[in-house]
Amino acid sequence: MTDDPNLSAAYALQTPEDSRRLYARWAETYDAGFAEATGYVLHLQVASLFAEQGGSGPVLDVGAGTGLCGAALTAHGITPVDATDIAPEMLEVARGKKIYRTLFTGDILRGLDVADETYAGVVSSGTFTTGHVGPEALDEVMRVASSGGRITLSINAQHFAAQGFKGKLSALEPDIQGLTLTDVPIYAPGTTGDHAQDRACIASWIKR
Ligand SMILES: C[S@@+](CC[C@H](N)C(=O)[O-])C[C@H]1O[C@@H](n2cnc3c(N)ncnc32)[C@H](O)[C@@H]1O
């Protein structure tokens, strides 16, 4: 794989260490060079759905990156929001936006330094995707959410099908309620390029 900071490199990642390295290099240019340039809108849709479905703080933003989803949540009046990400360089960009209450480095696949049932909400945009985080992370997401808390995560549509998210969500059924699966575009209309038509499933549910 190339380690140039771009979407093709991101989809070619294989390990959490690959992610940490790539996003360390991408942090400074991610917002203007990727999100704005490609018409990335996934974070807006995750935040809107979380708000529409009655989500409330405190919220943990998993794979928060430069803080796009946190900013969108804040625009919906949802606070406080904490941020975690494997790449401290991404979190430093997010910190500068003064959106988050607390920011901490963590690998959702290894477990976060967070007590059980801490958060009334957990959100994630763009992190459950090819080469990044698979369904095995849902146990950790569930652990940090409080009973009655809302969890709203985007999952790249191809990744959803390829990595067995359906089976994992079925296995979680006794512990969740009100699951919705919403199909959304990742990029705004008019976007061009190899990934312009990519879609995501936003899975949203309440922890029993
Ligand atoms: C495509 S970016 C999305 C960032 C932000 N949520 C957004 O929507 O713009 C994916 C993020 O996931 C983070 N990431 C990748 N693997 C991770 C892991 N195992 N644990 C926590 N964060 C991870 C990356 O560092 C990166 O910031």
Write the DSSP assignment of 76-87 as a string of letters.
TT---EEEEES-
Tokens 């575009």 found at:
185
Q: What is the C-alpha to C-alpha distance for residues 105 and 63, in angstroms, rounded to an integer?
A: 9
Nearest CA to ligand 1 atom 20: 107
User: What one-character-per-residue DSSP string does 93-148 give?
Assistant: HHHHTT--S-EEE-BTTTB-S--TT-EEEEEEEEEESTTS--GGGHHHHHHHEEEE
Quick one: pLDDT at residue 4? 57
- Calculate how far, in angstroms, residue 20's C-alpha sits from the geometric centre of ligand 1: 9
Among 62, 129, 113, 117, CA closest to 91 = 62
| Cβ 79 vs Cβ 53: under 8 Å | no
**Which DSSP category does 4 fall into?**
S
Which of ligand 1's atoms lies nearest the C-alpha of 109?
Answer: 19
Q: Given this model, what pLDDT does residue 8 score?
A: 84
Per-residue pLDDT of the chain (208 residues; tens, 9 = 90+): 344 588 888 888 889 999 999 999 999 999 999 999 999 999 999 999 999 999 999 999 999 999 999 999 999 999 999 999 999 999 999 999 999 999 999 999 999 999 999 999 999 999 999 989 999 999 999 999 999 999 999 999 999 999 999 999 999 999 999 999 999 999 999 888 888 999 999 999 999 9
Residue 4 tokens read as 């140039």
In whole angstroms, what separates CA 108 from the centre of its chain? 11
Determine the number of helices (DSSP H) and then strands (DSSP E) in the chain. 9, 7
Looking at 3.40.50.150, 3.40.50.1980, 3.30.360.10, 3.30.70.1530, the CATH number of the domain 7-207 comes to 3.40.50.150
- Is the CB of 23 within 6 Å of ligand 1? yes
The tokens for 82 are: 């904490």
147 CA to centre of ligand 1 in angstroms: 25
pLDDT of residue 113: 98
